Amino acid sequence: MESVVEQADGLSLLSVTEVAGLLGVSEEAVRAAVRDGRLPAYRIGPGPKARIRIESSSLAGYLRDSQAARVERR
């Protein structure tokens, strides 16, 4: 898979497609996590056509929180 990582002010930004591929989930699942505030993201551009980018460190935090929640539920 070709990387679509963007560098902006030293940030590694991932596309929704790339995050979905890394997590093995649908793009809609990633968008839902962003929409619900569970996964912090940047919106680039105006309105509904804005591109969504997720900082790699935010993705790492999301994964840590998700794993911790799974352990607590057991």
**pTM beyond cutoff 0.85:** no
Question: What does the radius of gyration of the chain's CA atoms come to, in whole angstroms?
Answer: 13
Burial of 16 (0-12, 13-18, 19+ CB in 10 A): buried
Counting every residue written for the chain, the total comes to 74
Give, for all 74 residues of the chain, the pLDDT tens digit: 344 555 656 679 999 999 999 999 999 999 999 999 999 999 999 998 999 999 999 999 999 988 766 666 55
Residues 23-38 pLDDT 10s: 999 999 999 999 999 9
Residue 55 lies in a domain: yes
Residue 1 lies in a domain: no
Range of the domain at 66: 6-73
DSSP letter, residue 42: E
Residue 68 maps to which CATH number?
1.10.1660.10
For the chain, how many structural domains are there in total? 1
